[in-house]
């Protein structure tokens, strides 16, 4: 049909999240090696306009709260004409791979996330 399949928007969110973490100096792979996982606990997408095959998209990501045992993000996706095509949210839970239980945000991440939120509010 030429439209981007609706499931791809969640993939765009994931890529934005991984790049955001990388820019902060954290690798998801390194977290996994330390036995911390961040599975998606919930996700939502609000579709505003369709995306088409080969569109250039810009995905914005915002951390919305200081993490305790989960991370909440808001997303925006704009097309190359700077039209808003989708918004969304995700909640990721910190999960200890050894005990297979939810856990608190690691201190180093918490400090870094606090500084991001402080900078966004300035």
Q: What is the pLDDT of residues 85-105, one digit of tens each?
A: 999 999 999 999 999 999 999
Distance CA 96, CA 38 (A): 9
Confidence check: pLDDT of 1 > 80:
no
Beta bridge partners of 19: none
Contact in structure between 33 and 43 (CB atoms under 8 Å): no
CA-to-CA separations, 68 to 40, 65, 71, in angstroms, rounded:
15, 9, 8
Confidence check: pLDDT of 115 > 90:
no
What is the mean predicted confidence (pLDDT) over 26-48? 92
Band of residue 49 on the pLDDT scale cut at 50, 70, 90: very high
Yes or no: domain 8-121 corresponds to CATH 3.10.129.10: yes
Mean pLDDT of the chain: 91
Q: DSSP H helical segments within the chain, as ranges?
A: 8-23, 28-33, 107-121
Report phi then psi at 84, rounded to 5: -70, 120
Q: Would you state the pLDDT for residue 66?
A: 83
Q: What is the pLDDT of residues 57-90, one digit of tens each?
A: 999 999 998 889 999 999 999 999 999 999 999 9
Band of residue 122 on the pLDDT scale cut at 50, 70, 90: low
What is the mean predicted confidence (pLDDT) over 40-67? 94
pTM exceeds 0.75: yes
Give the residue among 84, 17, 9 at the shortest CA–CA distance from 44: 9
Domain ranges of the chain: 8-121
């Amino acid at each position: 049909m030429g439209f981007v399949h609706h499931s791809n928007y969640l993939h765009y969110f994931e890529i934005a999240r991984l790049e955001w973490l990388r820019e902060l100096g954290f690798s998801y792979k390194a977290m996994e090696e330390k036995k911390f996982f961040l599975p998606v606990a919930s996700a939502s997408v609000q579709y505003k306009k369709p995306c088409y095959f080969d569109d250039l998209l810009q995905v914005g990501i915002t951390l919305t709260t200081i993490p305790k045992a989960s991370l909440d993000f808001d997303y925006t996706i704009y097309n190359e004409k700077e039209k808003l095509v989708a918004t969304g949210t995700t909640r990721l839970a910190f999960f200890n791979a050894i005990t297979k239980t939810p856990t608190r945000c690691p201190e180093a991440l918490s400090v870094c996330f606090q500084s991001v939120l402080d900078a966004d509010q300035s």
